[in-house]
Structure 1
């Protein structure tokens, strides 16, 4: 299957989007203080207003997705009754997981649950065990809610209804929502605006991820090779990432994206098994079971009034709400990508594969990495938690260095895994950005231009060496895209009601 259109289409949208993205990158490079003194406070204030309502919406979407899976709608096929399955089960699961959030699990696998354990933001009267509640809170940020949001995007864009247009048409559900309200001219302008905002959301969402992941990769080079120059190490890492995802995007879905995704999933599985050989398993099982139970409690009760279970309600703005708008920023490209690679699969299978399987993997991943690190720190007084509290980019390395010679191999394997996970997210994003902008497959300059633009903007962010800033930049496009997403939901619902009538 070809992800890019074969017809020659106008490139005005692509030129506009490229100019905007590059211009904002240059402005950020020339006036970096604008990011920290102006942009970051504005985004924090907006999250204070929009975070809680959006979080409740995602709660509703999670339960809606579960209801769809067991309803008669679950028997429909993504892409319509005539659609055929193109990718095998393992390849499909590998691609959706690698595109969705694989790189973030490497970055935060040890650090986030440990941070929430050392300084739990949850009220201890409700969640007394800080280790299990730390894992539970991490799973709220990375688990079923996030994947349900991705699943909804894929369903909305999956061509499930006869009026939804071709699979992956990001503006079709909005057109259904406003049908009969605006004329042809305004419809064309609206389509243009929707795709432009979606491209900006994807671009900056991926840029924030590349910059964040490079922080961890740079810390690894500093510890293992003694490379202390931020500019030099950052330039080398981002150059490698850009080359990797450019080559992968050039090769296309089957030869590029699918191959890298399969390799990375196998490597991640080997990493978990390898780690389990050298650390006690019982603490991991205890944290996994207790954390999952606390997670279920949070989902069923706490997340509906999330701020009431926190010691400081504003904590949610910098963490949970920020994460959810980050997932929203990735939603357009992950949704289009899922709609493309999931053609022919029944909706129930799609929901199980997109929501339940990744959530299970996420529970296992955080339980193994954080559980083993916390248990090792308590048993050996290794200073892992203290190191994470001081600088969470070094938690993974401090832990692995406690494991002797195999720890060094685990560090290099983790760095390789992170590098490829970032690339498999970026190559999917580049393909979707080019499709949304109407680029022709033969226009290789377009692929190289977007690859360069992502790398350039990520390097500008890396120079700031500010992880919270990376998260703020990642959700720039998500805030305006929230309006589009709501109209997509309205249009999607309207289509189904009309069909049943």
Structure 2
């Protein structure tokens, strides 16, 4: 792609950051002043859009999953992310820790006990097709959190990772789209198009992360109320979000190696320790049974059911509030996770990249949900302890009700889970802040924008938290993803076009 005039690029970058920051904060202030706009108007509109776009997008992600698997085992799998001269910068454990922490670590803590249990209590899948509610509940959870989501992230990383030298520099989110219109629009229009693409991407990232911070704070707030007796929801929410903001601001300030990588490694070790500690106090056999049966149902869903998900469900509309909503949430995170993956994966062969980004996190997700939810369900059935009823009434308390059954070590597990969730939110937010600044062209020597974006994320998350509405958090999280869907489709077209052109030329 021809180089654009440097002075125009610099001026556009400055204008982009100020415009994006003003837009995100302004919308949040409006939401705070007129909260009915969110619950009475925004939420129904998003639900309606999901009913139209959810199923086609879900099928597209299905297709992308099989494409990335095919790429990994094809001769293309031997190529390097970033080109043959690219060098690996991060060791394997650090790389896996960062990609997992950025991708969805906080969600696994939030839903680790609750989601499979909810789907077990009232299975959305037809019993005639999936007769065991325990395994089908896990399978449906894995459809929402497993290989499909990570395949979407992997595609973003491939498109933005410099695999095709003609598609632009690493992390240039607008280059694949501009390549679609190459020869049709002039340089001035390329700058304007790039401005619009990056603005929508920043908007998508910002509110995707805001929804996650607000959602995670609901669980953290419940934990503080339980362990410390903090009655004021607004006060505890303010304290939690302030801690999260301080943590991810410090991490982003320290940079990729000293901040984000260090925090991600610590959290992966903490997550492993928490899971192993839990296994000492719960029966192993039910966990193994649920893991094996759930994985089998999951494979059945992937190969057959997800191509016609509505036919697998008791109520097809269920998918709008869960599966389709999740997938647009992953799309909202796609720009920053994709840019982040492209940055940290340079020099790795494509097969290893796909293995690390898709297969490894999926296996970890299977183990995580099997251990936490499987042990909670088995414990509740054996002791009639009311865990499932508590989750049915309020799924933010399921984790705590379960751990409290385990005596003194339960307190250790609760505090460890809260710390784990806090850091996982921070490791997603710090990556998002760095990518937002990269997309907006912020000068790395100026830290004001880092603090401004960090504060804006925290402020907007608190505005959303005041509504105390978890489904609303999920709706807000995908605001930017809906318009970004068009950009994503154009990115795929542009990438394929440039890749074919490069192959023919060689």
Shared fold by TM > 0.5?
Answer: yes
Once the two structures are superposed, residues 275-319 of structure 1 have per-residue CA deviations (whole angstroms, 9 ceiling, x without a partner) of: 000000000000000000000000000000000100000000000
Residues 169-188 of structure 1: matches in 2 within 5 Å? 169-188=172-191
- What do you get for the CA RMSD once the two structures are aligned? 0.8
**TM-score, normalisation: structure 1:** 0.98
- Residue 39 of structure 1 is matched in structure 2 by 42
2:337 to 330, 334, 350: 334
Provide the C-alpha distance between the structure 2 equivalents of 1:458 and 1:472, rounded to a whole number of angstroms: 13
Give 2:448's aligned residue: 445
| Corresponding position of 2:375 | 372
Which residue of the other structure, out of 51, 56, 61, is the alignment partner of 2:64? 61
- Secondary structure of the residue aligned to 1:159 is coil
Residue-by-residue CA offset, 1:15-38 (whole Å, 9 max, x unaligned):
000000000010001001100000
Extract structure 1 runs of 4+ deviating beyond 2 A.
7-10
Q: Which runs of 5+ in 1 are unaligned?
A: 1-6
State the distance in 1 between where 2:292 and 2:183 align.
Answer: 53
- For residues 392-439 of structure 1, what are the alpha-carbon distances to aligned partners after superposition, in whole Å with 9 as ceiling and x for unaligned? 000000000000000000000000000000000000000000000000
Q: 1:317 aligns with which of 317, 320, 323?
A: 320
Report the counterpart of residue 268 of structure 2 in structure 1. 265
Which of 202, 216, 228 aligns to 2:231? It is: 228
In structure 2, C-alpha distance between the alignment counterparts of 1:191 and 1:172, rounded to whole Å: 8
Q: Does 1:424 align with 2:427?
A: yes
Structure 1 position 161, deviation (Å) = 1.1
Q: Deviations over 1:435-460 (max 9, x none)?
A: 00000111111000000000000000
State the alpha-carbon separation in 1 of the partners of residues 178 and 283 from structure 2.
56
Alpha carbons 1:8, 1:439 under 8 Å: kept: no
Contact 1:8 1:440 in 2 (8 A): no
CA distance in 2, matches of 1:312, 1:90: 42
Task: Name 2:458's counterpart in structure 1.
Answer: 455
Task: Pick the aligned partner of 1:93 from 92, 96, 121.
Answer: 96
Deviations 1:145-191 (Å, cap 9, x if unpaired)?
Answer: 00000000000000011201111000111111111222222111100
* Match among 305, 308, 314 for residue 305 of structure 1: 308
Which residue of the other structure, out of 140, 149, 154, is the alignment partner of 2:143?
140
Q: Which residue of 2 aligns with 1:4?
A: none
Equivalent position of 1:348 in the other structure: 351
> 1: distance between equivalents of 2:269 and 2:288?
22
Tell me by how many angstroms 1:8 deviates: 6.5
Alignment correspondent of 2:22: 19
Residue 166 of structure 2 contacts residue 499 of structure 2 at CA under 8 Å; is this kept in 1? no
Residues 1:390 and 2:403 are matched in the alignment: no
> Per-residue displacement from partner, 1:101-139 (whole Å, max 9, x unpaired)?
000000000000000000000000000000000000000
1:215 aligned residue: 218
Q: 2: distance between equivalents of 1:194 and 1:424? A: 25
Report SS of the residue matched to 2:280.
helix
- The residue that corresponds to 1:435 in the other structure is 438
Instruction: Verify the 8 A CA contact 2:166 2:502 in the aligned structure 1.
Output: no
SS of aligned partner of 2:165: coil
Q: Corresponding residue for 1:361? A: 364
Deviates more, 1:179-188 or 1:374-383: 179-188
Q: What's the counterpart of residue 239 of structure 1? A: 242
Give the structure-2-normalised TM-score: 0.97
State the partner residue of 2:3.
Answer: none
Unaligned runs of 5+ in 2: 1-8
**SS at 1:131's partner residue?**
helix
1-structure distance, mates of 2:225, 2:503: 60
Query: Residues of 2 paired with 1:162 and 1:112: CA distance?
Result: 42
